């Protein structure tokens, strides 16, 4: 079985090629072609000898996923549904075994253009263990963790699409809870950030978590100062437990303490993500509560209008309620923005395309 190219960092790839009878510099040539030029066709790597290209063809493969569906929105957002093949999904700490090739599962990734920015929204797991009541990602639970290579491959493939060019930003806001797959995620971040990799600045990489205090503190000790986004979605514990099952594992106070430590260790201001659900968490009293939380630490707030999911009871808030919510926060000194809704006409919200695909497949 060949090795997934994106699973290896520079030193690992150098050691790998030497172990298989190739010269060390071939690894550097290969990484330059793939990461800097977006080329994986070995025949096009003109400075690599024919013998070495033939050998590399036996040793490595570049794409572990097949493209199931691609959609393009009217605003330029593009979404891929990928089907992972082979034993590419690792066991989790909960004892999940390797998924068989026939059922390795599907994940989504999205490219979001905005001016000169090209943001890759990528997944860290197949499915999701959190099970937020309003989200399509966790409707069928967690099926496994993506490997480092699986995660990197998503960003690389999005950047390789015609007309996209270089990916400038990465957000771990696709399927899964990134801090549950900590080794895979931080390994991928190193490749995304490395000069020999995709060369994306650490401050342009965002890890979004529903909130695991121990995981947040662990990320605070990570050597790269990435941006941390906390998916808060409610201003008090009672309401949060109603819409996020995992919220019974830690209180908002415990989460904010961990976020304060993250700021202290990394110097990076935390983002509080807040999905507005019509008449559930978008009332004036919720805004006033949220303002008190946001002022308790170095944080900014992103308000996100909910994108409806077929079969779930939640609805998108009306515009007047969204702007009133924002105004109440601003009146209380909170740095708050309303995130622009992107890709609504292609089911770009997390998990929607996979959910629809599976329904169609029966």
> Catalytic amino acids?
108, 350
Stated as kind and residue range, the H or E segment containing 50 is helix 50-59
- Check: CB of residue 88 under 8 Å from CB of residue 147: yes
Distance CA 294, CA 282 (A): 16
Give 102-116 as a DSSP string: GG--EEEEEEEEETT
Tokens of 130: 């959190």
The b-or-e profile of 246-255 (16+ CB within 10 A means b, else e) is: bbeebbbeeb
- Check: CB of residue 252 under 8 Å from CB of residue 240: yes
Tokens of 242: 């109603």
Q: Which has the closest alpha carbon to 172: 219, 237, 223?
A: 219
3-state secondary structure 214-239: HHHHHHHCCCCCCEEEEECCCCCHHH
Q: Distance from CA of residue 279 to its chain's centroid?
A: 28
Distance CA 171, CA 7 (A): 19
Angle (nearest 5°) at CA 242 between 341 and 340? 10
């Amino acid at each position: 079985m060949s090795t997934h190219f994106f699973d290896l960092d520079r030193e690992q790839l150098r050691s790998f090629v030497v172990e298989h009878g190739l010269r060390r510099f071939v690894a550097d040539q290969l990484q330059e072609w793939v990461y800097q030029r977006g080329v994986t066709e070995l025949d096009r790597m003109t400075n690599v000898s024919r013998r070495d290209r033939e050998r590399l063809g036996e040793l490595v493969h570049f794409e572990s996923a097949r493209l199931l569906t691609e959609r393009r929105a009217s605003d330029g957002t593009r979404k891929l549904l990928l089907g992972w093949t082979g034993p590419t999904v690792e066991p989790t700490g909960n004892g999940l075994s390797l998924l068989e090739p026939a059922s390795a599962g599907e994940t989504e990734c999205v490219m979001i253009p905005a001016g000169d920015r090209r943001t890759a929204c990528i997944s860290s797991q197949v499915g999701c263990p959190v099970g937020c009541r309003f989200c399509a990602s966790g409707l069928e639970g967690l099926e496994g963790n993506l490997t480092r290579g699986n995660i990197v491959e998503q960003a690389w493939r999005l950047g390789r699409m015609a007309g996209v060019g270089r990916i400038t930003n990465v957000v771990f806001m696709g399927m899964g809870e990134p801090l549950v797959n900590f080794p895979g995620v931080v390994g991928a971040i190193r490749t995304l950030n490395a000069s020999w990799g995709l060369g994306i600045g650490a401050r342009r990489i965002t890890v979004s978590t529903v909130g695991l205090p121990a995981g947040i503190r662990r990320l605070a000790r990570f050597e790269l100062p990435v941006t941390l986004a906390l998916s808060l979605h409610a201003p008090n514990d009672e309401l949060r437990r109603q819409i996020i099952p995992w919220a019974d594992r830690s209180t908002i106070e415990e989460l904010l303490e961990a976020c304060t430590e993250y700021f202290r260790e990394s110097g990076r201001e935390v983002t509080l993500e807040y999905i507005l659900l019509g008449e559930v968490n978008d009332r004036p009293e919720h805004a006033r509560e949220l303002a008190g939380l946001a002022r308790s630490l170095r944080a900014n707030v992103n308000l996100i209008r909910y994108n409806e999911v077929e079969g779930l009871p939640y609805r998108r808030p009306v515009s007047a309620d969204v702007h009133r919510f924002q105004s109440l926060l601003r009146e209380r000194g909170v740095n708050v923005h309303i995130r622009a809704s992107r890709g609504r006409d292609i089911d770009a919200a997390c998990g929607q395309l996979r959910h629809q695909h599976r329904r169609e497949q029966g």
